[in-house]
Amino acid sequence: MLTTRRSLVLACVAALAALSSPLALAQAPIVIKFSHVVANDTPKGKASEFFAKRAAELTKGRVKVEVYANSTLYKDKEEMEALQLGAVQMLAPSLAKFGPLGVKEFEVFDLPFIFDNDAELHKVTQGPLGQKLLAKLESKGIRGLAFWDNGFKSFSANKPLKTPDDFKGQKMRIQSSKVLEAQMRAVGALPQVMAFSEVYQALQTGVVDGTENPHSNLYTQKMYEVQKHMTLSEHGYLGYAVIVNKKFWDGLPTDVHGQLEQALKEATVYANKIAKEENDAALEKVKAAGKTQVYQPTPAERLALKKAMAKVHKEMESRIGKETIDAVYKETGFDPNKL
């Protein structure tokens, strides 16, 4: 009898041990659903795949990152809600998409002409100010982990956009940012907020006349097929914050945290390294396709645009917060009084 009871106990102990053995754990990986709205063949698409690969390697298969590209799982607005509800664990929305969440400070990145180049931008995104901005997401149940680049935007439309006057009456698709809305209104255009996944069709059917994008987005969504003109204005920046559901993140084992942080660190270096190359290559492909006339504005034309749009900085001060705008100016040396 005693022997039977003891063998039963031993059998239970063995079963429990088997359940927590590396083999059993390997059979049930921690799944991270990473949703995004752009094509795989873009800086964000490639960086998220890179992250998934390194996460699997560094955690030795304990974590499986499933990347859902091209709005296949959720569109812009829905993906933010899905993250907060825990239906997906990770996203990298454009910085313009945090305003509707109530974190208006992020719209500082949308201010026209606020960054002259990558070096200025990185002082903010890769420095203490960037960390301070990411921390603002905590109250929304979100942990901000990193900033990934896409790049500087060009305007596109079916007519040449060279002077501020050329924008008058043009219906321009924008991301969901009040700053971008003000930027378009500053030159007399009619801004239309629209999910990224709907832009191609809206351009094709004439629901909107034009838009603004880094070249990788314009090319991979085939917008160049339905836009006759493009101006290399580099008037604004589009980049991403990599974010996770805070509750999910806090619940991960400590060693996994460290491994994922390392994977993300590597993915961030990779993203910011390839972003410019990807955008340059996309521009060459747009040119080669021959459907869009690509125009390089003269310094005087670019300055005229800058002067027309600069008032948006002041206009948006109460929304974004003067403190945040000034902190960026301090890092980058931008002076609105010296244009």
d(CA 124, CA 111): 14
Return the biggest CA–CA distance within the chain.
96
For 169-188, give the DSSP string: T-EEEE-S-HHHHHHHHHTT
Q: How far apart are CA 276 and CA 282, in angstroms?
A: 10
Instruction: Name the residue with the smallest CB distance to ligand LMR.
Output: 94
279 binds ligand LMR (CB under 6 A): no
Burial class (CB in 10 A: 0-12, 13-18, 19+), 322: exposed
CB of 217 to ligand LMR, least distance (A): 5
Pick one of 48, 59, 89, 94: the residue that binds ligand LMR (CB under 6 A): 94
Asked whether position 37 contacts ligand LMR by CB under 6 A, the answer is yes
Closer residue to ligand LMR (CB): 30 or 73: 73
> Between the CA of residue 263 and those of 41, 186, 203, 256, 284, what are the distances in Å?
20, 42, 38, 10, 31
Using CB under 6 A as the binding rule, whether residue 150 contacts ligand LMR is answered as: yes
CB nearer to ligand LMR: pick between 37 and 328: 37
Q: Which residues contact 139 (CB under 8 A, 6 or more apart)?
A: none
CA distances (Å), 227 to each of 55, 100, 129, 239, 317, in order? Answer: 39, 28, 37, 23, 33
Among 59, 89, 125, 175, binds ligand LMR (CB under 6 A): 175
Q: Does 38 bind ligand LMR (CB under 6 A)?
A: yes
Is there binding between residue 35 and ligand LMR (CB under 6 A)?
no
Cβ at position 43, least distance to ligand LMR in Å: 9
Distance of closest approach, residue 316 Cβ to ligand LMR, in angstroms: 19
196 is an interface residue for ligand LMR by CB under 6 A: yes
- Least separation in angstroms between residue 302's CB and ligand LMR is 22
Partners of 174 in the beta sheet?
193
Selected from 156, 183, 217, 231, the binder of ligand LMR by CB under 6 A is: 217
**Other residues' Cβ atoms within 10 Å of the Cβ of residue 243:** 24
224 is a contact residue toward ligand LMR (CB under 6 A): no
Q: Does 334 sit near ligand LMR (CB under 6 A)?
A: no
Q: Which residues bind ligand LMR (CB under 6 A)?
A: 37-38, 94, 150, 175, 196, 217, 238
